[in-house]
Chain A
Amino acid sequence: MSRTWSRRGFLWLLGAGAGSLTIGVTYRACDEQRRVPGPADIEDAFRPNAFVTITPDDQILFALHKAEMGQGIMTGYSMLVAEELVVPLEQVHTYFADGAPEYRTSKNLQLTASSTSMTEGFVPIRQAAAAARIMLIAAAAKQWGVEPSDCEVGDGEVRHAASGRAARYGTLALAAAKQGLPKDPPLLSDVQSRLIGSSPTRVDTRAKVDGSAQYGMDVAVPGMVRALIVHPPRIGATVISIEAARARGMPGIIDILSFAAGVAIIAEKYWQALRARPFVEVEWSPGIPFSTSALREQLTLGHSAAAPTQIPRDDGEVEAALAGAPTRLEAIYEAPYLAHAPMEPQNCVADAHTDYVEIWAPNQSPTVFQDAVARLVGLERNDIIVHSTFLGGGFGRRVVPDAALEAVALSRLVGRPVQVIWSRESDIRQGHYRPLASISLAGALDQARLPIALDYHCFAQPIFADQAPIFAAMAPDWVPPSVRNWTGEVGTAMLANGTVGSETLATEGAVELPYTITNVRIGYTPIDTPIATAFWRSVGHSFNAFAIEGFFDELAHAGGHDPCALRLAMLPAASRARAVLVAAAALGGWGDPPTPGFAKGLAVHECFGSVCAQVVEAGVVDDRIEVARVWCVVDCGRAVHPDLIRAQIEGGCIFGMSAALWQEITIEGGAVLPGNFDGYRLLRMHECPQIEVEIIDSTAPPSGVGEVGVPPIAPALANAIFAATGVRLRRLPLQAAWLEAKGAAS
């Protein structure tokens, strides 16, 4: 196959004309080429950088190097490009970029995480489009013998008003490619915006509404077989034997085998593997008899036994202040392991060859996937081609390359492309959880009944310890795989136990405590369990906001203060949190009489550069927690797409609410108890309160909104329940905690 991929062929694959575009399902590299042809190979295209391509037939192509998992970065970035090229949004054809070195913009990784995409890309993506604009103008000006400054752009053309000449971008492509790359292209939208700040229909909405959006599970490549994985039923269990005589004879079954991840039922079609599953009996070793209830007990006792091993913040003299204060409070706050449970279970298509591997996966980091696969098979990182699809939810789970490693291993074994599709039970039970946390707090009020001291000690697994694949992937390409293995394993261990640097994730959201309390100590002790952890939407903030905002509320009530008034009194005057809280209190009618039987609670939290406050009206009816309404205010800097921001805050709030109310990964005897949505409950429409979102007007650079809506809901809800009932719930999930409190009282 010629290296110059015809423009028509590529655009056919893009499905030009439709609203949202992905590399076509049937697209594969041919044997002579490692790298998948893309816009870089379109003949005579103008490609000033890795992001923007203008084709000779006037198509504007934009490479999205971030994962689109519903957070809307596909639309956000497309808007930035359309803005600086001065074209309607519909004229930008956005496609998912494969894993490649030029896209490693986050700590040497091509990565979508930590609510950073818009913050990271706001200037560079606009510059990429602006550079193209400048060069197109320069090309036209040269052709016409006029000054570039006398030319304008609009509707995909360069125009010279004085002479009435105009040329479409496509016709200028060849000439533009010869112009000099501008070093610092001026950004039109720094002066005036047309698109930024508006809320156009998202570029992927049409495809998601007509069923054409391609998720990982929808990918099919010629010769592909499917694999259903039977994962271990207990942590650490391994295969002892497989009884599958009858299953092997069933239609379409290719093989049933034991491998690193468990047992694979490989068939031509997934439905054939499903039909064979009941006839596959696996004998497993006992595994590790891990128990979450035993761990909770152990940690509760452990709080009185030892001092923290890491102290990332130590202001004033906490112990002296606590000892000498007239009023002292103590509490233990707990949060469970949580699964991400995206609607699309884990899956991956892999086609392993001796000298390269090609994979299609919903993923949050092509680099992590490239690196993990490269180390598995003994190839170079850039011999691993990673195609990304839409993600049916990510929430941090899809940074983990587990399904990809399974698919690659199986493809090597059977010599054909393999699609691995996880069951929902596998998705919920196969680890990589938000860590369980047990946090002890002690606080004191002074003579004026104001908080004077806060001592916090968190027991939780260091999330860094499970991120070896990420740390290995951060090493440059030239670092040998064995050394990358080392940096991955040993490096993360050293971070996790504080030998070098420290585990920051377990205390994030506590270390940054915004209240002007004189004596504050934030301590952390890592715990070691066989459970794998991962980033779960808002990470450490997801449990630290619960502990901090819940306990601060306790201090407020102990001092006879209104919880909002005390917060405002103890937030620095010019702080963003203060302004957000004031706005939320106003929006939520704080101080207005609530619905009978209900009461309001609130919380404010900052994470990943943005601040969100939530006021919740809730109560308990017949021992059932009911959430009536939620009011949210967010400060995320300049709002690029206000409606999308509102959707993310609503969605984050609902995501957090499901966890706050019901979700818990309980493990007994090494077996994860919940398996499907009956045991791991998600909020449903009839349980969803009315949620109102207001965005603070700001001209600061945009900060992320994917996660900040999650942390405040749990503490705001617990605070509302206290206000309504006098019962303080200190453990998540709250519904279970309520019933335990009732049981203990009776």
Chain B
Amino acid sequence: MHLMVNGAQHEIDIPDDVPLLWVLREELGLTGTRFGCGQALCGACTVHVDGKARRSCVTPVGAVVGHAITTIEGLGVGVGLGGDRELSRVQAAWIAEDVPQCGYCQSGQIMAATALLRIKPAPTDLEIDAVMSASLCRCGTYQRIRKAIHRAAKTSGGGDSP
């Protein structure tokens, strides 16, 4: 099957029912998408499919063939994980607010927040709560996540991607 991940085509031979999470982590080596619960309860596995947030731990890979999949590694501009990559507006806001503690949930939080800002470029606290309440953080960084989302919303350059 052909999978389009972070703008690159991948040819993989895998049963349709394998959760996308494990295809990303084990077949493509993209370990930034995390395993937290396997039941779509925690949001650590959140990726984008055609720009919309999806729980990859319960999404069979067969369902996303032919769709554009974006992971945490695909946000921003440029390739690779080093300093050469220009991070997205949301990622920059996360750094400015120094959000992460253990950091394990943060890939999923950032993906959820990015998808939210695409739909609601200037969300209210209630709108943030409604969407982000689906992403758990055991370390309790919620207040900072909210601040970072507001910050990212304020640094919007008009029509550019969050």
Contacts and interface: CB of A to CB of B under 8 A. Distances in A.
A684 B22 contact: no
Interface residues of B, number: 66
Task: Name the prevailing secondary structure of the B interface residues.
Answer: loop
A394 B102 CA distance: 9
Nearest to A250: B15
Nearest to A682: B136
Given A209-B110, A210-B81, A682-B138, A270 B22 contact: yes
A72 B101 contact: yes
Nearest to A219: B31
Contacts, number: 190
A707 to B, nearest CB: 13
Contacts of A423: 38
A690 interface: yes
B102 A69 contact: yes
A256 interface: no
Contact of A678 (B23, B41, B76, B142): B41
A344 B104 contact: yes
Interface string A373-410: 00000000000000000111111000000000000000
Contacts of A341: 138
A655 B104 contact: no
Interface string B68-95: 0001110110000111010100010011
A422 to B, nearest CB: 10
A206 interface: yes
Interface string A645-676: 00110111111000000000000000000001
Interface in A202-244: 202, 204-215, 217-218, 220
Taking residues whose C-beta sits less than 8 angstroms from the other chain, chain A's interface range is: 35 or more
A647 B101 contact: yes
A676 B37 CA distance: 7
B51 to A, nearest CB: 18
B19 A393 contact: no
A650 B147 CA distance: 14
Give the interface centre of A72, A208, A210, A218 by most chain B CB atoms within 10 Å. A210
Contacts of B76: 210
A70 interface: yes
A576 interface: no
A342 interface: yes
B42 A209 contact: no
Given A208-B103, A209-B87, A342 B138 contact: yes
23 contacts: A69-B102, A199-B98, A210-B32, A210-B73, A210-B76, A211-B30, A214-B31, A275-B17, A341-B138, A343-B44, A343-B105, A392-B103, A394-B102, A424-B42, A653-B140, A677-B41, A677-B42, A678-B41, A682-B138, A684-B133, A684-B136, A685-B129, A685-B137
Interface of B: 14-15, 17-19, 22-23, 25-27, 29-39, 41-42, 44, 71-73, 75-76, 81-83, 85, 87, 91, 94-95, 98-107, 110, 128-130, 132-146
The 7 closest A-B pairs by CB, nearest first: A211-B32, A392-B104, A654-B140, A208-B103, A70-B102, A70-B101, A211-B72
